[in-house]
Amino acid sequence: MVFGRNYGGAGCRPQQDITLTLALLRLQHVRVALNPIRDAPTHRACFRSDFNASSSMAKVPVFDIDPEAFHADPYPALAALQAEAPIAFVPQLQATLFTKRDDIFEQEKRVDTFSSDQPDGLMTRLMGRNMMRKDGTEHLAERKATFAAFSPRTVVQHWMPRFRATTQAILDDLAPQGGCDLVHDYAMPVAGNALRVITGLETLTAAEIDQASQSMMDGISNYAGDADTEVRCRAATAKLDAAIDATTTPHEMSLIAVQRAAGISEYSTKANVKLAISGGQNEPRDVIAGASWALLTHPEQRELLAEGSARWRNVFEEYARWISPIGMSPRRVARFDQIGGVDLKPEERVFFMFGAGNRDPDVFADPDVFDITRDTSKSIAFGAGPHFCAGAAASRSLIADVALPMLFDRFPDLRLSGEAQFAGWAFRGPLQVPVRWD
């Protein structure tokens, strides 16, 4: 649930926290229907020895993309990258992309070369230096301290009853309406209420959690330097800091409480709570709405659930593989290295493309097909190295044990009432999923 993406309202998905990229590209927000087998956008791959004055890479494959097409649907270009140049520099993103699953699985663990520490990044400056931006013992100490809030035992004993109660209340409110947008009216408040419980910030509403998440995500991707965006981000972080200060008796297993009990500084405690909120709203929301859409558009998969041939956990894992909500994770090259014949220079930027790895045809048969009977054990939807998603157990339980089964149990005749639209590549999910029921 940590480190995700958000958007500003119906039909709007802003620039993402991907260390430069979309701000450089200044992409327009687009609304497109998902088409995973659409023709690939124009691209070309070639080898150059001197392609960029700021880089000293040698014999580097250079792969050009159409930025707007990539934002609308990255999978055709990612498939071409895998086939033609699995490790390649993309000038439009100013980064070297790793697209093969096994390469990502191996290299993400090599933190001595691929560092998460970005001391001058917007996330650190605006939200504080959280454990996502630390490596080694520093990262492990805070990860160990926060584990108690996210552990499977804590989720089952403390959070699951709260997840069920709040989700039931949301469904009760929706039932008389006969229809809704699953993204905004269901998935968003389900995720927001879960974060209120897990973090310990129960004085805030789900809507306030969502607004804070939005403002921080906008702020940490504001490489164009828009003053109003930074003001909104700082206002959101100040509000969260004040709420944390005012939370003197949080639930003993909450993220605030377990860090204080472990002796984590108040600065780091606040930074990690803000990290959880900035991203923890997005992946659960996107998977709840997106997996619902996937079942509604693949009735044969829904039938497998009905006949007992598959479980809701299978739906969750396969959807997170098929349309990875976290499509990429950035790293800073900390030292010179050579991988696959590609030279990497200190301070260059690398993107581990989880979304591409999860559709690697060398690992997954028919990778573009949504199949809930698939073996997803090699999925890297939650990452692979020391920064493996801390909230994975909570996310699985919230989505697969609560949100999805309760939705389809409550509305057995649930059906789409309009086009579901998807966007994004660093963080991908539906903009809207309109549905109806009788």
Q: Give the range among 114-123, 236-245, 259-268, 338-347 with minimum mean pLDDT.
A: 114-123
Residue ranges of domains in the chain: 21-436
Q: How many CB atoms lie within 10 A of CB 286?
A: 30
d(CA 3, CA 405): 25
DSSP bridge pairs for 47:
61
Q: What percent of the chain clears pLDDT 70, i.e. is strictly above it?
A: 86
| Position 190 pLDDT exceeds 90 | yes
Instruction: Give the tens place of pLDDT for each residue, 32-62.
Output: 233 333 233 445 544 443 344 344 445 689 9
Judge whether residue 28 has pLDDT over 60.
Answer: no
- Say how far apart CA 332 and CA 210 lie, in whole Å: 29
For 236-243, which contacts have Cβ atoms below 8 Å and span 24 or more sequence positions? 236/211, 236/212, 237/126, 237/127, 237/128, 237/212, 237/274, 239/208, 239/212, 240/201, 240/212, 240/270, 240/273, 240/274, 240/277, 241/270, 243/201, 243/203, 243/204
Average pLDDT, the chain: 87
- Over 60: is that where the pLDDT of 100 sits? yes
Does the structure show a pLDDT above 60 at 119? yes
Query: Quick one: tokens of 372?
Result: 């809930």
Report whether pLDDT(156) > 60: yes
d(CA 347, CA 56): 11
**pTM, entire model:** 0.86
At 34 the pLDDT is 33
Angle, alpha carbons 289-70-432 (nearest 5°):
20
Ramachandran assignment for 401, one of left (phi > 0), alpha (psi -120 to 50 degrees), beta (any other) = alpha
Whole-angstrom Cα distance, residue 416 to residue 435? Answer: 4
- Helix, strand, or coil (residue 88): strand
Say whether 321 sits in a helix, a strand or coil. helix
Distance CA 99, CA 21 (A): 17
Q: What class is the 21-436 domain?
A: mainly alpha
Question: CB-based contacts of 234: which residues, under 8 Å, 6+ apart?
Answer: 126, 219
Tokens, residue 299: 């009735």
Q: How far apart are CA 37 and CA 317, in angstroms?
A: 21
